[in-house]
Structure 1
Amino acid sequence: MEKQYLLDGLPVQVTFADGLVRIVNDQPFKQAVTGQPEGNTTALVAKIKSDYKASFGNGLAIGDDSFVMEILGHLYFDYLLLRYKSLLRFICVFGLYDRFCRSCRVIDCGERGKDPNRWLWNKLVPFQKLLARRLGNVRLSRFTEG
């Protein structure tokens, strides 16, 4: 199932599967999240979880804070990849840089068993507010390839 949400009037594309949601990490999404990182991400997570429960009959077994942290973490990693492109292309040899960039195009958030990194996002939850502040200071022009 696919659904589009509006965050600050900007479209966000989400695909639902059993135990997994995929968020398209495009320019409108980046703009919406960097505008109000914590508020917009928390609102998006609430909408996604509500629609998931309505569609699948049971809740998505991802804690709200872990879900928010995963979204913010992916966005910040994407920003760093683009911001320090020249350096990271040099460091990440054998196509690793390009693989990282491809993996940032869609943010896969899954339940334990579907998302092998769920434990990592759970552990990083204490840094959620710090990361939200950092993303709030990102100039959108630095969040583009080129």
Structure 2
Amino acid sequence: MDNFTGEYNNIGIQYEDRVVRIKADQALYQFLLEPSCGSYLLAKHILKEYRRRFHKPLQISVHSLAIEIIAHVFVDKLSVKVSGFLDKVKTDLRKPVIAAVNSIHRHTEIIDCGEEAIDNNRFIWDSLEPFHAMIYALAGDAS
């Protein structure tokens, strides 16, 4: 996944028809720690840049996209924290825990954000949209 042609505050972003992919790495984590509504600002930038590149809007709302970013980063960070407690896990459970953590990380290292017709998870992020202010606040990403 080295075709990340877009960048926003060193965050790698890949634009394709009806899909954007965001690299979940230190640049993204660092940006989301800034005292602003980072996921919302990133989502706004992505939607604006998508429209500029494809001359049409990406059919994802700004809050749905921002919430998806927050959720993926939260789950990825949680998997990293679990890795730090492996010495406290019973020996016979370590292999399955390590496998689960590795699987989670593989699924969260690139955040695939697609329109509803091609992203079977879009309904999850859309359904959380009415709670965006609360989610931003809980994530420390309050607007």
TM-score interval (norm. to shorter): 0.7 to 0.9
**Whole-angstrom CA distance in 2 between matches of 1:130 and 1:3:** 29
1:76 and 2:74 matched: yes
TM-aligned CA deviation for residue 128 of structure 1 = 3.2
**Whole-angstrom CA distance in 2 between matches of 1:59 and 1:91:** 45
Matched length: 131
Q: 1:43-82 maps to which residues of 2 (within 5 A)?
A: 43-82=41-80
**Whole-angstrom CA distance in 2 between matches of 1:92 and 1:36:** 38
Q: Matched residues, percent identical? A: 27
Match of 2:96 in 1: 93
**Whole-angstrom CA distance in 2 between matches of 1:127 and 1:106:** 24
TM-aligned CA deviation for residue 123 of structure 1 = 1.6
- DSSP 3-state at the match of 2:7: strand
Alignment check: 8 A CA contact 1:78 1:101 kept: yes
Alignment check: 8 A CA contact 1:73 1:131 kept: no
1:116 and 2:114 matched: no
Report the CA distance shift for 1:83/1:129 in structure 2 as closer, same or farther (over 3 A). farther
Residue segments in structure 2 that go unaligned for 5+ positions in a row: none
Residue segments in structure 1 that go unaligned for 5+ positions in a row: 138-146
What TM-score comes out, normalization by structure 2 length? 0.79
What TM-score comes out, normalization by structure 1 length? 0.78
Match of 1:2 in 2: 5
Q: 1:11-22 maps to which residues of 2 (within 5 A)?
A: 11-22=10-21
**Whole-angstrom CA distance in 2 between matches of 1:15 and 1:32:** 17
Backbone CA RMSD of aligned residues = 2.4
CA distances 1:74-124 after superposition (whole Å, capped 9, x unpaired) = 11111211122246x848838332111111111111101221100111122
**Whole-angstrom CA distance in 2 between matches of 1:124 and 1:19:** 21
